[in-house]
Amino acid sequence: MTTEQEFAIIDQVLAGNSHAYAILVNHYKNYAFTLALKVLNNRAEAEEAAQDAFVKAYHHLKSFNRQSRFSTWLYRIVFNTSVSCKRKRKLPYQPIEKNHTGIKAEAETDLEKKDKKKFINEAMLTLNEADRLALSLFYLKEHTLEEIAEITGMQANTVKVRIHRARQRLADELTRRLKKEALTL
Amino acid sequence: MGKHVKPTDEELLNYLDGTVNPDEAAAINHALVTDQEVAQRMEELRSVHHYFLTLTKEEPSNNFTQRVMENLHYTTSHAYSPRNGLMLLIGVMLAVGIAVALLAGGIFDEKATLDLNQLVVVNKYLDWELPAIPFNGKLIVNLIIIANIALAFIVLDRTVLKPWFARRRNMHVM
């Protein structure tokens, strides 16, 4: 969908044709849901957060100033909604350094599977939501670093540093787990 | 980056992202061949990089769009959180209870008259006499009680019932 097509749909919605909004929802739902899922790590909650975000975006469509892409504006709402949803759950923010012990118990049973992907998947949970999200957005390759920065409310340089640092940590975690697995064999 | 300097993690990641210039790429290629430690680190970072390259968008439930469209015109009350709503509800019910108790005690049974001429301001600035307004205290309190009960129903609906049914509906659909 081109920016012009998007703006034409937005104009229709603003003119009172709310059914036209379904086109935007259909087009962006997967990405919005993925984004919410990366923050919340729970499909049901992510779905609810993504839906809430679409409804919020609809009600604030007038305030979209068209200086950035609609998707960037929308994903910023999805991100904020997901983060606030996570806060309501009262899950403490856990930086990776303090969280190794938290996943050990779950990881023990998986150590025998020799699956790097699984290890990384688990290690991903030890990252905070901003790092996890920045990484995911970066690899989904739909947004530039500047746009990712806009979505997450960070500076572009910060996003880059976070992406680098998160990958380093995941690599370290992967190595640690593989070494541990080798010792248990 | 010098030819014999060990590349940093950042440089290796830039290499994987394809954002290094040809000289830097050549230096890293050289380090990968000559330095086992660098090659090993690159392998670790490459594993993570490949993991993310396979990352795809997740799909929500089939009726996602339909549910968004259904909720577009459902406006939730942002003024009251469920907790604030409950507090307000308790306050309103308490006020109704007190009013009913006072009514039952017969405090508002006597008819009163509001004599505007007793007001200092009126005596000071007006030369003519104002009429005395009779009012039925019992009727007024009854109206206040009815208004409070109506308010209590609205608060109950917006802060307790609607969110509860919405949550229940979401649970069933998913």
pLDDT per residue as tens digits for the range A148-166:
888 888 888 998 888 999 8
What is the band of A21 on the pLDDT scale with cuts at 50, 70, 90? very high
- Is it the case that residue B131 has pLDDT exceeding 90? no
* Single-letter residue type at B80: Y
Pick from B40, B48, B39, B55: which is nearest to B17 by CA? B48
A185 in contact with B, Cβ within 8 Å: no
- The predicted-structure confidence for A36-68, as pLDDT tens digits, reads as follows 888 888 899 999 999 999 999 999 998 888 888
Q: Residue A165 to residues A96, A132, B8, B168: CA-CA distances in angstroms?
A: 11, 11, 12, 41
Q: Residue B78 to residues A59, B81, B89, B163: CA-CA distances in angstroms?
A: 13, 7, 16, 12
- Is it the case that residue B3 has pLDDT exceeding 70? no
CA gap B1, B88 in Å, rounded: 66
Using CA coordinates, name the residue in chain A closest to B74. A55
- Residue A122's Cβ-count burial label (10 Å; 0-12, 13-18, 19+) is middle
* Candidate from B44, B68, B174 with C-beta closest to A171: B44
pLDDT given for residue A3 in this prediction = 82
Paired sense of beta strands B112-115 and B132-135, if any: antiparallel
CA gap A158, A140 in Å, rounded: 18
- The predicted-structure confidence for A78-120, as pLDDT tens digits, reads as follows 988 988 888 776 554 444 333 433 444 444 444 444 567 777 7
* Candidate from A18, A19, A135 with C-beta closest to B52: A135
B63 in contact with A, Cβ within 8 Å: no
Q: Do A30 and B73 lie within an 8 Å CB cutoff?
A: no
ipTM score assigned to the predicted complex: 0.70
B45 in contact with A, Cβ within 8 Å: yes
A60 in contact with B, Cβ within 8 Å: no
